[in-house]
């Protein structure tokens, strides 16, 4: 099936894409038999101009329908989305979620605070005086606990019982703690340039993948998927700080892929601003994590982890894999090479369209 690119896609190719290196692609992608494909089926059978008009009307309809599901300011705050602390927009605050509060997790640390807890093995360790990671054996279980039968929890990675020595070893610890100074580096998505700004009516699913650096986790891949399942942006870039671990098992990123890129976070921001302004609706699953990693403040959010509430209620949330299986009857995150942000973004878009009643 051939999909017709949207106008913004064509503009992007003309303006930017011809000079893009290989690591940033705008390949079209759609999963065969998916809901995204089925909602297009009636549109595919008509002439091109009419088809474009139909696609634009469908996009407008979905954009308007999603207004009912946008997170409120209060929901954005309590679900950990970055919020400005003042009208000058030079610093954000991020509310800790219930589980981070309970565990005493340090999500942001002051510059002189060198104490960290390893996100893999749970050990306390210290950074060197420059705030960088030092080498040390990190022995851990890479897959979280799996419960087999009543009261017999085991690790999913190796099947050993809880408390058994780690089955995987790395040469340094890693931390989920970021520097507090990064809270002053966030950027607000641009306000529309005019009433005709084409970015205003856009709806995209966004997903990121991160690696561990000497200064905590940093984003290294970003993917944007539109309502038709087309990947309008899929970009790998180098983090600012030295990488400690590519987190391949979860991120799907490798040394070759990340270090082979000439792009930086600033490039990713520039590409993003081509598609997104402050009125664009962004869809994601736990999108607060993606926006924190990207250093972006945005208010028009539909989050599938809130759209499909957990039966126990807040603060519990379903994982994307489980939701996709239960709601769409489709398996994702099956590969051994980690998550694929494109696959995850398509799944979140489908979950939202399902909620709206499209393609059911
Ligand atoms: Zn460790
Ligand atoms: Zn294990």
Domain boundaries, the chain: 68-87+186-356
129 CA distance to ligand 1 centroid (A)?
Answer: 19
Centre of ligand 1 from the C-alpha of residue 256, in Å: 24
Phi, psi of 132 (to 5 degrees): -110, 160
Residues 268, 237: contact at Cβ < 8 Å?
yes
Residue 135: its pLDDT value, please?
87
Predicted TM-score (pTM) of the model is 0.84
Confidence at residue 143, expressed as pLDDT on a 0 to 100 scale? 80
Q: Which ligand is nearest to the CA of 158?
A: 2
C-beta separation of 303 from 287 below 8 A: yes
Say how many C-beta atoms besides its own lie within 10 A of residue 33's C-beta: 9
Q: What separation in Å is there between the alpha carbon of 156 and the centre of ligand 2?
A: 7
Rounded to 10 degrees, what is the CA torsion of 235, 238, 243, 248?
20
| C-alpha span between 126 and 142 (Å, rounded) | 22
Helix/strand/coil for 130: coil
CA of 176 to the centre of ligand 1 (A): 11
- For residue 117, how many C-alpha atoms fall within 13 Å in the half-sphere facing its CB? 9
* pLDDT: which is higher, 16 or 326: 326
How much is the average pLDDT of 326-339?
83
How far apart are the CA of 175 and the centre of ligand 1, in A? 8
Whether 25 has a pLDDT exceeding 90, the answer reads: no
- DSSP run (H or E) holding 172: strand 168-172
Q: pLDDT class for 4, splitting at 50, 70, 90?
A: very low
Residue labelled with tokens 């705050």 = 77
Name the DSSP class of 93: E
In CATH, what class is 68-87+186-356?
alpha beta
Residue 89, pLDDT above cutoff 80:
yes
Cα 174 to ligand 1 centre (Å): 6
65-69, 136-140, 156-160, range with the lowest pLDDT: 156-160
Cβ proximity of 214 and 133 under 8 Å:
yes
């Amino acid at each position: 099936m051939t999909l017709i690119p949207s106008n913004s896609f064509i503009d992007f190719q003309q303006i930017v894409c011809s000079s893009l290196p290989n690591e940033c692609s705008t390949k079209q992608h759609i999963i065969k038999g998916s809901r995204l494909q089925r909602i297009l089926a009636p549109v595919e059978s008509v002439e091109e101009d009419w088809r474009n008009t139909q696609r634009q009307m469908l996009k407008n309809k979905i954009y308007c329908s999603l207004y009912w599901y946008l997170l409120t300011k209060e929901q954005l705050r309590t679900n950990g989305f970055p919020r400005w602390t003042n009208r000058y927009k030079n610093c954000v605050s991020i509310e800790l979620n219930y589980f981070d509060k309970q565990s005493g997790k340090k999500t942001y640390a002051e510059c002189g605070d060198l104490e960290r807890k390893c996100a893999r093995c749970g050990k306390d360790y210290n950074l060197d005086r420059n705030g960088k990671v030092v080498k040390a054996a990190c022995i851990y279980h890479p897959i979280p606990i799996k419960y087999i039968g009543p009261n017999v929890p085991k690790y999913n990675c190796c099947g050993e019982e809880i408390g058994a020595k780690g089955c995987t070893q790395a040469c340094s610890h890693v931390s989920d703690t970021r520097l507090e100074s990064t809270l002053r580096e966030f950027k607000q998505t641009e306000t529309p340039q005019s009433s005709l700004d084409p970015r205003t009516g856009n709806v995209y699913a966004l997903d990121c993948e991160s690696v561990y650096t000497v200064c905590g986790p940093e984003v290294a891949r970003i993917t944007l998927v539109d309502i038709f399942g087309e990947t309008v942006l899929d970009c790998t870039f180098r983090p600012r700080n030295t990488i400690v671990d590519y987190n391949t098992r979860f991120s799907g990123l490798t040394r070759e892929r990340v270090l082979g890129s000439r792009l930086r976070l600033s490039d990713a921001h520039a590409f993003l601003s081509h598609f997104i302004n402050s009125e664009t609706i962004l869809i994601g699953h736990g999108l607060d994590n993606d926006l924190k990693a990207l250093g972006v403040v945005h208010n028009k959010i539909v989050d599938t982890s809130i759209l499909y509430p957990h039966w126990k209620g807040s603060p519990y949330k379903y994982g994307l894999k489980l939701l996709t299986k239960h709601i769409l009857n489709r398996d994702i995150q099956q590969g051994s090479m980690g998550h694929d942000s494109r696959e995850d973004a398509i799944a979140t878009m489908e979950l939202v369209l399902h909620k709206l009643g499209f393609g059911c």
